[in-house]
Amino acid sequence: MDDRLYYEIELKCPVCGYKHIMTKTKSKIVETMPIGIEDYLIPIYSDEYINPLSYEIDICPKCMYAAFHKDFKEGVERHKNIVRTFHNDLKLLTKGVKTNTIYRNNEMARLSYVLAGFIYSKEKPLDYIKLGKCYTRIAWYSKELKEIEFYKKAIKMALESYIGAYNEITDPKASAIIMYMVSALYIELGDYEAATPYVNKLNGNMENKNLKEIKEKLENITIKLRKELKEIQEAEKKLSKVEKLREREKRKKAIEIEITKVPFGIDLKEINERLLKERKSLNELKGEKIQKKDLRPTILIVDDVRIEREILKKILKKNYNIIGEAEDGYEAIQKFKKIKPEIVILGVEIPKINGIKVLKEIKKINIKTKVIMSSGNKKPKIVLECLKNGALNYLIKPINENKLLETLKKS
């Protein structure tokens, strides 16, 4: 850390009492602030890894309390005027500045949305849509940072905000979209029972009011949600009370599975590529001619057909480090335990132990491992079974090269 630019300070939150160290800048960094009402709190900048707002703002990462540095110790009550002032100052800072669309730092991006949420929560009347948007993005960044408790809290706050918006909005189109958001967030938390009425209302809204535009956009998603809910409800009828409770606990734990798609319009797929480029540039600047460690993601390929494995190796060898192959389910599990790959490409119909059982075993060993299933079987039941058990995607053979690479980029 450059002492000319940065310093560290120990802070104690006046709201929850949490003590933490915050790295702050010694001066304002105005020129790196982005443009736009929706985006001005996102730390999008090319050279600075420290939040440009940290000169003025302190944030508690535990309870989400935020304030100007000079007022942080005073507590929440004094901040109605402070928030208004800060809101206006930011608008002035952002005039005439070009926006860089690359997201640089998950931690600082999250803290900026925490701050945005704090600001919006103090405004009267409350804008529930903006609050919901802030909290869902806080949740996304928290999950990227593997902070599950913070993630759960942010999802719950997003739910409260969207439910508040639903109770106020009369426009049927906006109402339909909010109902989808509420149901999707409940499902993300594993609470299928709470999601059911919103999914049903969404279905009724689209049919009764003939909202063709909304129906086209959301039809596939809502059909999938309704199918999953129906399957779960049918399956639960055959279970005892104890078994039902166990199943519900399992679904709640699904929150710990890696996110398999880019939610809420945030696209971070370029991050890995950029980090690799930065490391390369850094080594070149230092003039070091050392053997570089292979930074590519590691992959285990599992398929009982040799030619299929060769095709996959040819597709992946440029950008991925293939550290193992297996012909059957038993060999796949043994190799997975030994070499610990980050990604597994797994055939469904493989000998000894089938692919779905291998998938379950892999997730038991390491729930964070990304698993892509491959098969010639297109039956929806098999596809859903794989996705429910944590598969990143289900690709039909012969595997489409672009689809495979796109799935891996988004993971």
Helix residue spans in 189-326 (DSSP H):
192-208, 212-237, 241-253, 271-286, 306-316
- Distance CA(232)–CA(318), nearest Å, equals 41
List Cβ<8 Å contacts ≥24 apart for 30-38. Answer: 30/93, 31/97, 32/97, 33/90, 33/93, 33/94, 33/97, 34/94, 34/97, 34/99, 34/100, 35/94, 35/95, 35/97, 35/98, 35/99, 36/94, 36/99
**CATH number of this structure's domain 293-410:** 3.40.50.2300
What's the pLDDT at 360?
A: 92
Whether the Cβ atoms of residue 61 and residue 20 lie closer than 8 Å to each other = yes
- Establish whether the linkage from the previous residue to 172 is cis, with ω within 30° of 0: no
**Measuring CA to CA, which residue among 90, 83, 77, 81 is closest to residue 34?**
90
Counting every residue written for the chain, the total comes to 411
Quote the pTM value: 0.34
Average pLDDT over residues 205-224: 49
What angle is formed at CA 322 by the lines to CA 318 and CA 325, rounded to 5 degrees? 140
Q: Are 66 and 59 in contact (CB under 8 A)?
A: yes
Which pLDDT tens digit goes with each residue over 324-354?
A: 999 999 999 999 998 899 999 999 999 889 9
For 179, counting Cβ atoms within 10 Å of its Cβ (0-12 exposed, 13-18 middle, 19+ buried), the class is: buried
Task: Give the residue carrying structure tokens 């009267």.
Answer: 124
- Among 85-94, 123-132, 186-195, 311-320, the minimum mean pLDDT is found in 85-94
**How far apart, in Å, are the Cα atoms of 266 and each of 52, 101, 158, 214, 326?**
21, 11, 16, 21, 36
Question: What angle in degrees, to the nearest 10, is found between the helix axes of 106-122 and 128-144?
Answer: 160
The answer on pLDDT for 382 being more than 80 is yes
What's residue 108's pLDDT? 58
Query: Which pLDDT belongs to residue 233?
Result: 67
Strands 298-302 and 66-68: unpaired
- How far from 50 is each of 4, 8, 63, 228, 245, CA to CA, in Å? 13, 12, 21, 43, 45
The rounded distance, in Å, linking the Cα atoms of 305 and 294 is: 28
Q: How far apart are the first and last CA of the chain?
A: 31
Q: Span 379-388, mean pLDDT?
A: 85
Residue 149 has pLDDT above 80, yes or no: no
Query: Range with the lowest mean pLDDT among 25-29, 261-265, 377-381, 394-398?
Result: 261-265
Pairing mode, if any, of strands 321-326 and 298-302? parallel
At residue 209 the predicted structure's pLDDT band, cuts being 50, 70 and 90, is very low
Gap between the Cα atoms of 276 and 215, Å rounded: 41
Residue range 96-113, pLDDT digits in tens: 323 322 333 566 566 667
State the pLDDT confidence band at 199, using cuts at 50, 70 and 90: low
Place of tokens 């439910």: 163
Share of the chain above pLDDT 90, in %: 10
pLDDT of residue 200: 67
Nearest to 297 by CA among 252, 264, 258, 265: 258
Q: Does residue 51 have a pLDDT over 70? A: no
**Nearest Cα residue to 4 out of 26, 29, 30, 21:** 26
Confidence (pLDDT) at 111: 65
Give 263 or 370, the one with higher predicted confidence.
Answer: 370
Higher pLDDT, 237 or 386: 386
* Least confidently predicted of 70-74, 167-171, 193-197, 263-267: 263-267
Q: Where are the domains of the chain?
A: 1-124, 293-410
- Cβ 32 vs Cβ 20: under 8 Å: no
Percent of the chain predicted with pLDDT > 70: 52
- Give residues with Cβ within 8 angstroms of 145, minimum separation 6: 106, 107, 110
Do the beta carbons of residue 60 and residue 18 sit within 8 Å?
yes
Write down the pLDDT at residue 241.
Answer: 77
**Maximum mean pLDDT: which of 16-30, 243-257, 355-369:** 355-369
Distance CA 295, CA 312 (A): 20
Within its chain, how far is the Cα of 25 from the centroid?
Answer: 28
